[in-house]
Structure 1
């Protein structure tokens, strides 16, 4: 069993911060949320380990202000596994690392066989971790002992793992590449809120007409507001498929809605008035949504041959080239270059030079090392790639 301290009041918190400030080297940090159970993505447990200090499991709702922890560890490197998942929740608490090491990203850059924490720990240290509680409801109080044990193990080995991976990165000549990736993760801006988030409703493509779309919008919005109010994941109240069923069935009365077998979920009947009011708002509103929404999304590549044959040829020429570079570098293709970046420069290419392709990739968000490894070869592939039928040499009849 791992030794750890559960921190649930201010006195314990201040002692833990003092101990961590006197620890040695980087700190391992992890966060447990209640995704799928709660509306928010807030942290319900923050785990921190530092050598010569120990493992501390902080209870954010009980602790409140985390500024003393930031002061205690804020000047050293923070080690994560999949940092992009944890940084937003930590920032909500006022916890901001100055620099990071990400063991998941490092493993990807090294071309390891598995990228999950258990696989990475086993690769680096030969220690087997059980991932029994990763999908648990971490808002539960009190937290069960096995969950706390699991949470402690999530950070206990991370510093040792990072040491091993740092050596492997150096041996592979990828230290600078990893540093760029870590900094990009730290610098990444949160996504801007969607202008019409209700259009994420699963199965919305089955809904026909602006009036039905208005009903779907009002049901989704009513569910979202109630979920936020009581801090419960929207899908646990009424699943998307149930909202969609109500839209498509178009019930003519509240009792007909209640009788709809497909309209289920924990709040489908207890909040029946709420859902019926939403349906009626959708049926009477003059604010009808657009049936077609402009999008900058590219067509699926399977449609390119008909929609943009030249782009199709460019993509078919460049994709295997990028895959070959990734294989040579011994890393997944998506870590060498985001697939959407390649599709976008193939769909609407700049001048077919390495410099122009590199500038286009950088504008999309590619890192310097990615541009350095791919721009020239992508440009060459665009120029030299598969020929159209009209380019093929004529044969004698």
Structure 2
């Protein structure tokens, strides 16, 4: 009779990770504040509260042309959460007055500061939880990730890309919006403690102070960001892209819809390549389908016609004109010494970032690095060179802590790049 197979002892298996609890509203969902009277009531609570004010805004990106805030969420100890619909309100001045000089807590402040300023809300002081996470070198700094990492709770994010201009706003959307500010006070305290422990609290203060004056960059030749532009050949076709893009942008602005909902970038590129001259040819061009393409066909054809008739001297160049240095890939050909400076400087800044446990781009803005290495001060006296580089970086907008860490390395890069090679 065959022997029974021996049973191997079971290995000790690791305990399964406990499921992270889903974050829920602590105080329930408050009613939307959409009258001046209700706003005044909440502003009084906000003024009587204590500590910093968590604040967030929801826009209708992907649906609307404007960057306006369609919902503002606030939370403060002693005041609870307020969900403010700014659209029907006369003014949001009561909120600004109630907050006073209290610190704002935001996540990814540069996304919300412009639309909040548009409705009269500006911070006297702020704390950006995303930027704090970057300075602490967290690999992922999205709000949901930081909340799960530091607070041990999971956030729903399925409503992040909805059309917030919808009225009335569905309850699940409002719950999502309220949760975004409910976590910020506790998250801010944990991150602030870690910044102190890491010796980075002064760096963070400088960064947060700098954010208070943030304004979105005005893009020159914004049409050049058309997706697929690299496929377009010839200045005439580039002129057609520009004409279609500008026509679409003006129409989108007038109708307050996101431009891609009229015609996509792919349609602009296809039409600029094919140059159709009548409605039938236009509508058979790739990407020209849907109501926006058909309804505004005369506008698209007028734009193409204008590009076709444009004088050669008025057509755009292939390479945009800018006030900054050329693309780094062209440095070796245009200025080998500058290319060497940049190579040495980038390696030095990267090493400093690793030493101080920072993302390289937070230690020094890449554009500041490139500008300084393309056109450094003319002096080669080490002391004077360092002083002038400090002034140069300050003029670009670099903060004192960034300059203190990186300016000596940039000065060495300038000198080392021009030193004669041994042998």
C-alpha displacement of 1:279: 2.2
Distance in structure 2 (CA, Å) of the matches to 1:111 and 1:215: 45
SS at match of 1:27: strand
Q: Distance in 1 between matches of 2:170 and 2:143?
A: 21
**Quick check: 1:392 aligned with 2:422?**
yes
Q: Distance in 2 between the 1:374 and 1:344 partners?
A: 14
Give SS of 1:224's match: helix
Determine which structure has more spread, i.e. the larger CA radius of gyration. 2
- The correspondence for 1:358, drawn from 387, 390, 393, is 390
Are 1:209 and 1:291, in contact at CA under 8 Å, matched by a contact in 2? no
Aligned partner of 2:332 in structure 1 is 305
The verdict on how the C-alpha distance between 1:26 and 1:202 changes in structure 2, with shifts beyond 3 A counting, is same
2:406 is equivalent to residue 374 of structure 1 = yes
> What residue in structure 2 maps to residue 182 of structure 1?
208
Aligned pairs, how many?
390
Deviation for aligned residue 1:371:
0.5
Matched, 1:217 2:247: no
Would the alpha carbon gap of residues 308 and 174 (structure 1) be closer, same or farther in structure 2, given more than 3 Å must change?
A: same
What is the 5 A alignment of 1:127-138?
Answer: 127-138=153-164
RMSD: 2.1
Deviation at 1:63, TM superposition (A): 2.3
1:70-91 deviation per Cα after TM superposition (whole angstroms, max 9, x unaligned): 1111321111011111000001
**C-alpha contact 1:26 1:159 (8 A) present in aligned 2:** yes
The corresponding residue for 1:283 is 308
Could you tell me which runs of 5 or more consecutive residues in structure 1 were left unpaired when the two chains were aligned: none
CA contact (8 A) 1:4 1:57 kept: no
Q: How does 1:1-397 map to 2 (within 5 A)?
A: 1-2=24-25, 3-5=28-30, 6-192=32-218, 194=220, 196-285=221-310, 288-292=314-318, 293-350=320-377, 351-352=379-380, 353-384=385-416, 391-393=421-423
TM-score by length of 1: 0.92
Counterpart Cα distance in 2 of 1:295 and 1:90: 30
Aligned-residue offset at 1:211:
4.0
Q: Secondary structure at the match of 1:107?
A: helix
Once the two structures are TM-superposed, the CA of residue 142 in structure 1 deviates from its matched residue by 1.8
Contact kept? 2:277, 2:301, Cα under 8 Å: no
Deviation digits for residues 160-186 of structure 1, max 9, x if unmatched?
A: 111111111111221211111001111
Q: Distance in 1 between matches of 2:156 and 2:292?
A: 34
Distance 1:285 1:310, change over 3 A: closer
Say which is worse superposed, 152-161 or 315-324, in terms of deviation. 315-324
User: What residue ranges of structure 2 are gaps of 5+ in the alignment?
Assistant: 1-23
TM-score by length of 2: 0.86
Specify the SS of the correspondent of 1:62: coil
